[in-house]
C-alpha cells in the first residue's frame, strides 16, 4: 500500500500516468497555472480568516476577510505575473466584489453551521486547506477542504474557488460523468477527479455524526460571475453540491481509486500500458495524445511524446 494519495494526485494519474510519475515521483513542477492558484489561495485565506477571527474574538467576519485580502494583496501581487497595474487593480476589485457577494449570500448562515460542525467534529473546522483522510478499499486517500459545516442532518466539506472551472467541476446535467469517462471512454479526467474528491470527503466525514447523518463535499465559487452595475463591480456566487455525481457511481469510483493505487504501488506509469491494456477505462491512449499531450509541460522530456513525434515525422 502506498502512503496517502490525494484526490489531486489521483486526478493527475487519471489524466496521464506518466504525468503523475513526472510530478509526484520525480518531483517536477506541473503545468503552470501559478497566478490562478495563488489567487485562489488568497481568496481562501481571506474568507477563512473572516470565520476564524469572528469565532475567536467576535470581529465582523466580512470586515476581517476584506482586511486580510487588503493586507496580503501586495505580497500576492509581487508573486503574480500581472501584465499591467490596470490588470492588477481590476483583479483586486473583482476579488472584493466576490468576497462581498459571498458574505451577503452565505456568510452568517455558514458561520452558524461551522459552529455546529465544531461541536460535532471536535477538531479544526476552518482552514484553509484542511485535509480530510479516508480509507477506501484499503487505500488511504485525502482531499483538501476549506471549512466544514453541519446542521442536524448533514456534515458538509466546502472547497472554495474563484470560478467553477468550466473544465473541472462537472455541470449539474453531467451527473453520469463517471460512467462517461470510465465506462464509455469519454476522457474527462478533471471532472471525474472532482467526483473522486467528493467521494473521499463523503467517506472521511462519515466518521462524525451518527449513521443517519449525510456527508457531502460542496464546491463554492466565490466570483462565478462578475459584472458592472452603476459603475460598480458586482459578483455572484455559485454552489455545487457533489452528492448527485456519486448517487450511481460510488462503487465505480471506489474501484477506480483501488485500480490507480494498485498501479502506483506497482510503479505502472506507461500511459499506453494503462489505457490500452487495462480494463478500467474504455478509452485509449490516443485520447490522452489528442487532449493532454499538446498542453503538457513535460512533452519535451516524455518518451511517449517523443516516440510519437518521431513516428509522425517518418
Q: Which of residues 254-273 bind ligand SF4 (CB under 6 A)?
A: 271
User: What span, in angstroms and rounded, lies between the C-alpha atoms of 167 and 153?
Assistant: 31
For ligand SF4, which residue of 18, 40, 181, 188 counts as binding (CB under 6 A)?
Answer: 18
| Binding segment (CB under 6 A) for ligand SF4, from list 11-19, 80-88, 106-114, 240-248 | 11-19
80 forms part of the interface with ligand SF4 (CB under 6 A): no
199 forms part of the interface with ligand SF4 (CB under 6 A): no
Q: What is the DSSP letter of 4?
A: P
Q: What is the DSSP letter of 208?
A: S
* CB of residue 293 to ligand SF4, shortest distance in Å: 3
For ligand SF4, which residue of 5, 19, 164, 203 counts as binding (CB under 6 A)?
Answer: 19
User: What span, in angstroms and rounded, lies between the C-alpha atoms of 85 and 15?
Assistant: 36
> Interface mask (CB under 6 A) for ligand SF4, residues 283-302, using x and -?
-----x---xx--x-xx--x
* CB of residue 22 to ligand SF4, shortest distance in Å: 6
193 forms part of the interface with ligand SF4 (CB under 6 A): no
Per-residue burial over 90-118, b = 16 or more CB atoms within 10 Å of its CB, e = otherwise: ebbebbbbbbbbbbebbbeebbebbebbb
Report yes or no: 218 and 157 within 8 Å, Cβ to Cβ: yes
51: cell is 470565520
14 forms part of the interface with ligand SF4 (CB under 6 A): no
* CB of residue 308 to ligand SF4, shortest distance in Å: 8
For ligand SF4, which residue of 5, 14, 16, 130 counts as binding (CB under 6 A)?
Answer: 16
DSSP string, 268-314: ---HHHHHHH-TT-SS-HHHHHHHTGGG-TTGGG-HHHHHHHHHHH-
Q: What does the binding site for ligand SF4 look like in residue numbers (CB under 6 A)?
A: 16, 18-19, 22, 271, 288, 292-293, 296, 298-299, 302, 304-305
Amino acid at each position: 500500500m502506498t502512503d496517502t494519495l490525494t484526490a489531486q494526485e489521483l486526478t493527475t494519474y487519471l489524466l496521464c500516468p506518466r504525468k503523475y510519475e513526472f510530478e509526484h515521483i520525480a518531483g517536477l513542477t506541473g503545468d503552470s497555472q501559478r497566478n490562478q492558484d495563488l489567487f485562489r489561495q488568497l481568496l481562501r485565506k481571506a474568507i477563512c480568516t473572516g470565520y476564524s477571527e469572528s469565532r475567536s474574538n467576535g470581529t465582523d467576519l466580512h470586515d476581517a476577510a476584506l482586511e486580510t485580502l487588503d493586507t496580503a494583496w501586495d505580497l500576492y501581487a509581487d508573486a503574480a505575473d500581472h501584465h499591467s497595474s490596470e490588470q492588477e487593480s481590476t483583479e483586486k476589485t473583482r476579488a472584493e466584489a466576490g468576497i462581498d457577494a459571498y458574505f451577503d449570500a452565505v456568510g452568517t448562515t455558514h458561520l452558524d453551521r461551522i459552529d455546529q460542525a465544531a461541536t460535532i467534529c471536535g477538531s479544526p473546522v476552518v482552514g484553509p486547506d484542511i485535509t480530510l483522510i479516508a480509507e477506501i478499499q484499503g487505500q488511504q486517500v485525502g482531499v483538501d477542504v476549506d471549512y466544514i459545516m453541519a446542521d442536524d442532518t448533514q456534515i458538509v466539506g466546502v472547497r472554495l474557488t474563484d470560478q467553477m472551472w468550466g473544465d473541472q467541476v462537472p455541470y449539474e446535467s453531467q451527473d453520469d460523468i463517471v460512467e462517461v469517462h470510465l465506462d464509455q471512454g469519454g476522457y474527462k479526467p478533471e471532472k471525474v477527479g472532482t467526483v473522486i474528491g467528493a467521494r473521499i470527503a463523503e467517506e472521511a466525514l462519515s466518521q462524525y455524526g451518527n449513521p443517519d447523518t449525510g456527508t457531502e463535499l460542496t464546491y463554492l465559487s466565490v466570483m462565478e460571475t462578475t459584472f458592472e452595475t452603476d459603475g460598480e463591480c458586482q459578483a455572484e456566487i455559485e454552489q455545487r453540491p457533489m452528492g448527485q455525481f456519486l448517487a450511481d457511481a460510488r462503487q465505480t469510483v471506489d474501484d477506480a481509486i483501488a485500480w490507480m493505487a494498485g498501479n502506483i504501488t506497482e510503479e505502472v506509469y506507461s500511459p499506453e500500458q494503462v489505457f490500452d491494456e487495462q480494463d478500467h477505462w474504455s478509452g485509449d491512449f490516443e485520447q490522452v495524445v489528442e487532449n493532454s499531450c499538446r498542453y503538457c509541460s513535460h512533452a519535451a522530456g516524455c518518451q511517449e511524446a517523443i516516440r510519437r513525434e518521431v513516428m509522425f515525422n517518418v
